[in-house]
């Protein structure tokens, strides 16, 4: 009924080992795991009493516990981080698209100066960077050696 242990010895020499095993079983503690529900997480101490009342034994344990607030679950933290990263990526994409649109409205396209490599407007005949700032370093363009 109790799930006890039966140790049988065929030899007298095994009795001390069996007694040692019985002593270890008797000295084992009970581990009670419980979850308390219905107590507000107010950070205040609450009283807990555990009572054992069996046929031949009686025990009582008293302890106080503090109802603490549950931390944010790990999956929710990961979800928040993913959402923040996605929002930042979307903001960066919209900023890049806005800059491309603003350049198109100003008339700046992908056309570049053959000498310095700076972007130019389609309406410019000559590069103002090369014309008015002659001391700037000229950028080397690929394939210009031929």
21/23 Cα distance (integer angstroms):
5
Residues 27 and 48 reside in one and the same domain: yes
Domain count within the chain: 3
User: Which of 31-54 are b and which e, b meaning 16 or more Cβ less than 10 Å from the residue's Cβ?
Assistant: eeeeeeeeeeeeeeeeeeeeeeee
pLDDT band (50, 70, 90) for residue 143: low
Residues 21 and 52 reside in one and the same domain: yes
Q: Which of 117, 112, 109 is nearest to 138 (CA)?
A: 117
Residues 90 and 54 reside in one and the same domain: no
Residues 117 and 84 reside in one and the same domain: no
Parent domain of 86:
72-106
Per-residue pLDDT of 37-90, as tens digits, reads 777 767 777 777 777 776 666 666 666 666 666 677 889 999 999 999 999 999
The pTM of this model reads 0.39
pLDDT of residue 132: 72
How many Cβ atoms sit within 10 Å of the Cβ of residue 120?
21
Which residue is listed with tokens 């030899």? 11
Residues 25 and 46 reside in one and the same domain: yes
17 within domain boundaries = yes
Quote the mean pLDDT of the chain: 76
Residues 49 and 83 reside in one and the same domain: no
6 within domain boundaries = no
The structure tokens listed for 108 are 């700046």
77 within domain boundaries = yes
Residues 19 and 49 reside in one and the same domain: yes
Radius of gyration of the chain (CA): 40
């Amino acid at each position: 009924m109790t799930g006890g242990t039966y140790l049988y010895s065929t030899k007298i020499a095994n009795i001390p080992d069996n007694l040692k095993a019985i002593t270890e079983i008797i000295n084992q503690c009970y581990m009670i795991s419980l979850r308390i529900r219905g107590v507000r997480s107010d950070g205040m101490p609450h009283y807990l009493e555990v009572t054992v009342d069996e046929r031949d034994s009686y025990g009582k344990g008293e302890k106080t516990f503090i109802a603490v607030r549950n931390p944010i679950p790990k999956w929710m933290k990961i979800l928040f981080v993913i959402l923040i990263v996605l929002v930042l990526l979307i903001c960066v994409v919209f900023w890049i698209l806005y800059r491309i649109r603003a350049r198109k409205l100003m008339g700046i396209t992908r056309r570049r100066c053959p000498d310095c490599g700076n972007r130019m407007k389609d309406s410019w005949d000559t590069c103002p960077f090369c014309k008015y700032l002659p001391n700037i370093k000229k950028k080397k363009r690929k394939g210009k050696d031929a």
